[in-house]
Chain A
Amino acid sequence: DQQVKQNSPSLSVQEGRISILNCDYTNSMFDYFLWYKKYPAEGPTFLISISSIKDKNEDGRFTVFLNKSAKHLSLHIVPSQPGDSAVYFCAASAPSNNDMRFGAGTRLTVKP
C-alpha cells in the first residue's frame, strides 16, 4: 500500500535555480511530515519537517509546504547547489505511533 508517493523518480536543475520536489499522501491520519536526504552508500539524513498544524516551514535554503486539503507537500531548495545532488525521500507518520511511511524517493541532480 503506497500511502506516500513521489511520482518523479528524478529531477535535474541548474545550479542557482530552484528545485521543487513533490510528494502526495493518501492517509488523512498523517500529521507529521519529513524530508530525508540520502547520499550513495549512506543512510538517509533528516532534512526538514512540518507538522499538520502548519502550512510552511523554512530552514535556510530549504522550505517545506503542506497542503492538507490536497494531501500534498513539496520541498523547495533555493538556490540549488551541486552538493544538494542526492535522493530525497518524503516520509509521513500518524499520531498513533512513530511508524513512518516513505515515498520511493526523487533523485535530484544539480548541474554546475
Chain B
Amino acid sequence: EAGVAQSPRYKIIEKRQSVAFWCNPISGHATLYWYQQILGQGPKLLIQFQNNGVVDDSQLPKDRFSAERLKGVDSTLKIQPAKLEDSAVYLCASSPPMNEQFFGPGTRLTVL
C-alpha cells in the first residue's frame, strides 16, 4: 500500500514570497490533515479535511495560509506571503474515520 506522498521535500524561499505544498493521501482515506512542526516542538494541526470539507481550521493563520482539497483527494497548502517564523516542516497526514493517522515525509520550508 502506497503511503502519503508530499512534494516538494525541501523548499527555500525569501520572506514575502509565496509557496505551495502538495499532498496525496492514502487511497480511500477520507480525512486529511496539515500539520506545522517547528524545530523542537511537536506537530501542530493547521487544518483538517473530511473529504473536501473543512472540519477544523481554527489554528490556521488565515491571513496568509490557505488550503484546499477540491476533489476530496489531493490537497494543497499555500503560504502567501511567507514570514521568517513560517520556517518549519509541513506534514500531511491521512486517516480512515476515527483511526490513527498516517504521515507523509513532510516538506521542510526555510524562509530567509
Which residues does A use to contact B, with CB under 8 Å?
4, 6, 9, 34, 36, 41-46, 49, 89, 91, 97-105
Which residues does B use to contact A, with CB under 8 Å?
4, 6, 31, 40-45, 48, 55-56, 91, 93, 95, 97-106
Q: From the candidates B48, B55, B100, name the one contacting A34 in the complex (CB within 8 A).
A: B100
**Whole-angstrom distance between the Cβ of A101 and the nearest chain B Cβ:** 8
In the complex, which residue of chain B has the Cβ closest to the Cβ of A102?
Answer: B42
Q: From the candidates A6, A42, A105, name the one contacting B105 in the complex (CB within 8 A).
A: A42
Q: Is the CB of A105 within 8 A of B95?
A: no
Q: A43-B93, A89-B43, A104-B40 are in contact. Are A98 and B31 (CB under 8 A)?
A: yes
Q: Is the CB of A99 within 8 A of B42?
A: no
The 23 sampled A-B contact pairs (Cβ below 8 Å) are A4-B42, A6-B42, A9-B40, A34-B100, A41-B105, A42-B106, A43-B4, A43-B93, A43-B105, A44-B91, A45-B103, A46-B102, A89-B43, A97-B48, A98-B95, A98-B101, A99-B45, A102-B43, A102-B44, A103-B42, A104-B42, A105-B41, A105-B42
Q: Which chain B positions have C-beta within 8 A of A42?
A: 105-106
Q: A97-B56, A98-B95 are in contact. Are A44 and B43 (CB under 8 A)?
A: yes
Q: Which chain A positions have C-beta within 8 A of B40?
A: 9, 104
Q: Which chain A positions have C-beta within 8 A of B44?
A: 102
Complex Cα–Cα for A45 and B100 (A): 10
Complex Cα–Cα for A103 and B43 (A): 8
**Whole-angstrom distance between the Cβ of A20 and the nearest chain B Cβ:** 19
List 3 A-B pairs, minimum CB-CB distance, nearest first.
A102-B42, A43-B103, A46-B100
Q: Is the CB of A98 within 8 A of B42?
A: no
In the complex, which residue of chain A has the Cβ closest to the Cβ of B43?
Answer: A102
Q: Which chain A positions have C-beta within 8 A of B91?
A: 43-44
Complex Cα–Cα for A46 and B98 (A): 14
In the complex, which residue of chain B has the Cβ closest to the Cβ of A43?
Answer: B103
**Whole-angstrom distance between the Cβ of B95 and the nearest chain A Cβ:** 7
